Amino acid sequence: MTPAPQYAPYPMVPAPAYPRWLASGIALLALVSSISVLLGPVIEPVHTAFAVAVVMVLWTLALLLRVLHCRLNGHNAETYDAAVDEVMQAWWARHRQHASLVESVMVCAAVASPEQRERFFNPDRDPPAVVMLEDGPTLRSPAVFGRDLGKREQHLATLLALRWHDQQASAPLTKPLCCYWLGSDEAWQAFAKQVAISRPLVALPERPEPWRGHSTMSSIIDRLHDGSSDAWILCAGCHCAPAISGGGRVAGEAALLWMLGRGGGVRFSRGEWLDADAEPFAAVAERTLRQAELEAPVPSCMAFAPADLPDPPLSLLSEQQRLLHHDFGALGDLQPMVTQTIAAWYVEQHGKPCGLLVDDPHHSLALGIVKPDDSRN
């Protein structure tokens, strides 16, 4: 959960009870007049009149001070409410900031070519073929050979850099603002080595920053909005899961890349997060839609099946859910990035918002909505 700041209402002073004040004034006047009559033989009439006048002036002054206190309290309450409203608007404005997916590349069994990417949401397409190994079933990219997982990851990373070059061969690129990586150091070195050959101007760092899920996306959005309008950030990851005999799960492998900027592509939101038993799923789903400035659930939601949570009422977030483990297999920590990528492709092809439901290293669950690029409308 990412709750908005909470502010207690300003303590209000009740308005003066004018009938009571009037009654008390009349009673006070009657009392002073009675005392004046009783003391008439020993007190000068001028002194009596002066005493009555003083008492009534003090009563009037007390009423005026009470009215002034009430008016000042109301003014302070209006000022307080305006300040709270300004803080809340600023919080929501920051909370609704986004990062735009300028470019994305993926290498996996389900998306071995650009044509397969275009047909990914076609219900008539052929699913990727499961390869049976001695250790168990796997989904492997047909463009990568070998059995050693470390070598396969390095080959996947190298192929990812080559696909990126082919996909954006004519686009000049400069050094990214920063780089995030999810995977082994060896795979990163293979990726960076090929990028240095294909795109020498990019100049990737020797050690990228680690990808840590929901918190990393929020940090990326902060960096992009604090930087120049043409700044961009590179995010990439690579993982080859080992096969598990008799586990009932198909091991997958994938490598992917994002170019994130402030505009020019589908929009990744900061998203929301949920810890089990800390907040109802319905409240987090409602806040996720509000963050995306949507009033109704989105048409579709991409997800790998969460392993450790009961099935949440996903209808609060989306009208239909699509599970991705049949197309990608088990991908470990790379599953959330794959889910975000597929959700972005759905938005690119259909022009409609798409939800996502992913595991997170720091929370039980993370929710988000990918939206179309408004600048193209």
Cα radius of gyration rounded to whole Å, the chain:
33
Mean pLDDT across the stretch 135-146?
87
The set of residues, in sequence order, having a beta carbon less than 8 Å from that of 229 and lying 6+ positions away, is 262, 263
Q: What pLDDT sits at residue 181? A: 97
Lowest mean pLDDT among 75-89, 160-174, 236-250: 160-174
Supply 95's token pair.
């909370």
Nearest to 357 by CA among 371, 373, 370: 370
| DSSP label at residue 318 | B
Residue 377 pLDDT exceeds 70: no
What mean pLDDT do residues 133-149 have? Answer: 87
Mean pLDDT of 300-304: 92
Largest CA distance in the chain: 122
Whole-angstrom distance, CA of residue 126 vs CA of residue 122: 9
- 104-376 has which fold? Peroxisomal Thiolase; Chain A, domain 1 (3.40.47)
Report pLDDT for 40. 64
Euclidean distance between CA atoms 229 and 224, whole angstroms: 8
Q: State how far the Cα of 112 lies from the Cα of 36, in Å rounded to an integer.
A: 106
Higher pLDDT, 274 or 47: 274
Instruction: Tell whether the model's pLDDT for residue 62 goes beyond 90.
Output: no
**pLDDT for residue 328 is more than 80:** yes
Distance of CA 342 to the CA centre of its chain: 18
Q: Tell me the domain boundaries of the chain.
A: 18-94, 104-376
Candidates 368, 372, 358; CA nearest to 317 is 368
pTM, rounded to two decimals: 0.84
The pLDDT-based confidence of 33 (bands split at 50, 70, 90) is confident
Give the model confidence (pLDDT) of 184-200 as tens digits: 999 999 999 999 998 88
pLDDT bin (cut points 50, 70, 90) of residue 28 is confident
